[in-house]
Amino acid sequence: MNQQAAITSAAQRAIAALFPSDRISADLPDRIAYSRDLWPRTLIGLREGQHRPFEPDTVVWPVSLDELRALIEVSIEHRFALIPFGGGSGVCGGAVAQNGGVIVDLKRLDQITQLCDVNLLADVQAGIIGQTLEDQLNVRGLTLGHFPSSIRCSTLGGWLATRSAGQCSSRYGKIEDMVDSVGFIDGTARYRRVDRANNRQQLEAIIGSEGVFGFITDATMRLAHLPQTRMFLAYRVPSVERGCEALRRILQAGLRPAVLRLYDELDTLLSSPAGDRSPSALSRATHALTHGGAGKALQNRLLSTALRKAGNLSRIGANLADRLRRGCLMIVGVEGDRALAEAEAAYCHEQIICCEGDRLDDEIGISWFENRYGVSFKMSPLFMANAFVDTMEVAAPWHKLMRVYRDVHQALSADALVLAHFSHAYTDGCSIYFTFVSRGSDRTGAQALYDRLWQSALAAADTAGAAVSHHHGIGLAKAEFMKAEHGHGMTTLRALKTVFDPHGIMNPGKLGL
């Protein structure tokens, strides 16, 4: 328990006066449930006996802006922290009560309040779960175009607060490109409507602010029509270098296919669709990538070996890589008007072939699409097996990308099994999404190892010229690194903090503030 500044009983009474009893709780089970998000560090801690790492004093579930404003006023009067909470799927500790305070779960604010098919805009409350929003749009023939793998357990507000990126970001952009305006209640209880057209500077200050300035309560989002056509292509390229070359060529030619993903050798092996429930063509293609038929069995052996023998992971990974037929899986997805999508696919094909790619069966791409959200739900078995897994997304310009890839890989792989994919590419650079699996040598050593891995990986990323976050945000996990990276730029954030949250009640400790 890090709790230092407990709420006074006078404050508790003032909060209790604002909410009916079924929308406020100071019960222990709720305080435990809301004492973490999906930051793996706290999940490791849970195993090590830290059941309430960031215990809040109270949890509330507001249903209106009036309730939020009233809560802020009480918070100012009694000086306690308010922590906006969406789906709780963040992996950086951005939605936890570092020193007590009130968790404000916004999931009851979950309505699409207006939908305009002339402007292709939807007014949406911030607490809506992503998949719920997408489902409701789909029945109208529309889509937001935002598909993070957490879509079933994250909210619109969380996406906006962290500058989220989805799996179709090449075509639809990141979440900040989709937002037309936000409704925002700052730390003085003032509601403002902030527009892209009228007030871009303020909009960009609020997006990505992780709750440190106030509550994003709703947003007007740009939509798209559901695509007429959707096609997937799959390739094997000989190396990440050649695959990245293909990504770069496609982006720099001005194309924006919906999906562009490149997996490194090990991620190719572990992410390949399981052979046992797939049609034979897919199965054959998968096996062609994964050592002539070992497929699922090899995946399982690799993981179980990784779990048994921490400390030797680097050697295990290297041995396995040697035993694998070399090659990296690349998925291309195009969508929209059929003729345009086909022209786009043809152009991508040509570039990938130029980079020594071999076309695989399209069903590999289709299978990727069908299982595209699986990754967010694969963590628990590893944690239960006493290991841990985390992901780290950095970004770098093309000419530094391979150095970042190698250096971060090396920094991690002494003590972890490391895989990576490249899934958000731009004309001038690309992000790298590392996944690393490890475990401490004993029951209590895992958290220390975890910290060491992050320290050395982020230091390697920084030295190699990468930005330390692409779309997971900063939270507590990267706060110190952000300060180092931003340097004097933190003064800007602090000045904005003074304007929006002069009393310092909003989500203290996050973003390095």
433: three-class secondary structure by DSSP? strand
The stretch among 247-255, 297-305, 368-376, 417-425 that binds a copy of itself (CB under 8 A) is: 247-255
Name the token pair of 129: 């779960």
Nearest to 128 by CA among 221, 226, 30: 221
Least distance CB 227 / a copy of itself (angstroms) = 8
Query: Does the protein bind a copy of itself through residue 486 (CB under 8 A)?
Result: yes
Query: Does the protein bind a copy of itself through residue 427 (CB under 8 A)?
Result: yes
Name the token pair of 348: 């991508």
Helices (H) and strands (E) in the chain, counts: 21, 18
Which residues in 248-307 contact a copy of itself (CB under 8 A)? 248, 252-255
Least distance CB 416 / a copy of itself (angstroms) = 25
Sign of the torsion formed by the C-alpha atoms of 180, 183, 185 and 191: positive
Kindly write out the interface string for residues 132-161 of this chain, putting x where it contacts a copy of itself by CB under 8 A and - elsewhere: ------------------------------
Tell me the backbone φ, ψ of residue 432, rounded to 5 degrees: -120, 135
Which member of 1, 318, 448, 495 binds a copy of itself (CB under 8 A)? 495
- 282 touches 363 (CB < 8 A): yes
Query: Does the protein bind a copy of itself through residue 485 (CB under 8 A)?
Result: yes
Kindly write out the interface string for residues 316-355 of this chain, putting x where it contacts a copy of itself by CB under 8 A and - elsewhere: --------------------xx-xx-xxx-xx--------
Q: Under rule CB under 8 A, how many of the chain's residues touch a copy of itself?
A: 63
Single-letter amino acid, residue 39: W
What is d(CA 472, CA 39) in angstroms, rounded to the nearest whole number?
11
Which residues in 163-222 contact a copy of itself (CB under 8 A)? 163, 171, 176, 180, 190, 192, 194-195, 197-202, 204-205, 208-209, 222
Which member of 66, 241, 428, 480 binds a copy of itself (CB under 8 A)? 428
What is d(CA 425, CA 252) in angstroms, rounded to the nearest whole number?
10
- 224 touches 168 (CB < 8 A): no
Query: Does the protein bind a copy of itself through residue 246 (CB under 8 A)?
Result: no
488: three-class secondary structure by DSSP? helix
Single-letter amino acid, residue 511: L
Residues in the chain: 513
Q: What does each C-alpha distance from 435 to 301, 363, 368, 409, 420 come to in angstroms? A: 18, 25, 18, 10, 6
Query: Does the protein bind a copy of itself through residue 480 (CB under 8 A)?
Result: no
- 269 touches 292 (CB < 8 A): no
| H or E stretch covering 250 | helix 240-252
Least distance CB 243 / a copy of itself (angstroms) = 16
Least distance CB 421 / a copy of itself (angstroms) = 19
Query: Does the protein bind a copy of itself through residue 463 (CB under 8 A)?
Result: no
383: three-class secondary structure by DSSP? helix
Least distance CB 202 / a copy of itself (angstroms) = 5
If the CB atoms of residues 129 and 477 are measured against a copy of itself, the closer one turns out to be 477
Least distance CB 144 / a copy of itself (angstroms) = 12
Q: What does each C-alpha distance from 74 to 12, 13, 24, 109, 313 come to in angstroms? A: 10, 10, 15, 20, 52
Single-letter amino acid, residue 392: M
Single-letter amino acid, residue 88: G
If the CB atoms of residues 42 and 220 are measured against a copy of itself, the closer one turns out to be 220
Which member of 5, 6, 26, 224 binds a copy of itself (CB under 8 A)? 224
If the CB atoms of residues 449 and 468 are measured against a copy of itself, the closer one turns out to be 468
Query: Does the protein bind a copy of itself through residue 119 (CB under 8 A)?
Result: yes
What is d(CA 256, CA 189) in angstroms, rounded to the nearest whole number?
41
199: three-class secondary structure by DSSP? coil
Query: Does the protein bind a copy of itself through residue 409 (CB under 8 A)?
Result: no
Query: Does the protein bind a copy of itself through residue 49 (CB under 8 A)?
Result: no
What is d(CA 105, CA 83) in angstroms, rounded to the nearest whole number?
8
Least distance CB 56 / a copy of itself (angstroms) = 27
Nearest to 179 by CA among 191, 155, 163: 163
If the CB atoms of residues 111 and 427 are measured against a copy of itself, the closer one turns out to be 427
Point out which residues bind a copy of itself (CB under 8 A). Answer: 116, 118-121, 163, 171, 176, 180, 190, 192, 194-195, 197-202, 204-205, 208-209, 222-225, 248, 252-255, 336-337, 339-340, 342-344, 346-347, 395, 397-399, 427-429, 467-468, 470, 485-486, 488-489, 491-493, 495-496, 498-500
